[in-house]
């Protein structure tokens, strides 16, 4: 797990390896539900429907958006309130890549796109 942070945003990168074994145990959407359930005390998921599908440079994946619970907003102007989570199946490297970005909504998409392009085809130790 790798975490990079500044005052306005945070990026977390993780991976589940090997993907064939992970996907034989449970499908990609169940992995995403499990990841989001682990953080449900701090963040609540927007919408209870299915996850939206994304096409990243490394492969296909799922996308989910969460918001910081209102109880934890003591100083709302200082908090990173939105978290975007991508879970991508990188078939070339046989891994599931987890990207989580927390910050302002308008900055998250560009941050995740840049991280996904940088990880494509690269060997990272998880």
| CATH number of the domain within which 46 lies | 3.40.1000.10
Please check whether residue 93 lies inside any domain of the structure: yes
Which residues lie closer than 8 Å to 86 by C-beta, 6 or more apart? Answer: 54, 56, 61, 62, 63, 97, 98, 99, 100, 112, 116
Residue 34 lies in a domain: yes
pLDDT at 75: 64
Percent of the chain scoring above 70 in pLDDT: 87
Contact 88, 60 (CB under 8 A): yes
Number of domains in the chain: 1
Tokens of residue 78, six digits: 């200082």
* Entry pTM: 0.87
17: left (phi over 0), alpha (psi -120 to 50) or beta: beta
pLDDT one-digit tens code per residue, 24-75: 999 999 999 999 998 888 888 887 667 999 999 889 999 999 988 776 556 6
Whether residue 124 is contained in a domain is answered as no
Give the per-residue pLDDT at 5: 84
Chain mean pLDDT for the chain: 86
Q: Is residue 125 part of a domain?
A: no
**126 belongs to a structural domain:** no
Report helix, strand or coil for 62.
Answer: strand
Domain that holds residue 60: 2-119
């Amino acid at each position: 797990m790798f975490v990079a942070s500044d005052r306005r945003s945070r990026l977390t990168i993780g991976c589940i390896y090997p993907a064939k074994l992970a996907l034989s145990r449970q499908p990609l959407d169940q992995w995403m539900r499990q990841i989001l359930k682990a953080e449900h005390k701090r963040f609540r998921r927007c919408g209870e429907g299915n996850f939206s599908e994304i096409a990243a440079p490394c492969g296909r994946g799922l996308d989910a958006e969460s918001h910081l619970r209102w109880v934890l907003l003591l100083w709302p102007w200082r908090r990173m309130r939105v978290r975007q989570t991508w879970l991508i199946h990188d078939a070339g490297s046989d891994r599931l890549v987890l990207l989580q970005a927390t910050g302002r909504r308008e900055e998250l998409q560009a941050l995740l796109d840049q991280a996904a392009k940088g990880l494509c085809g690269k060997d990272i130790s998880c």
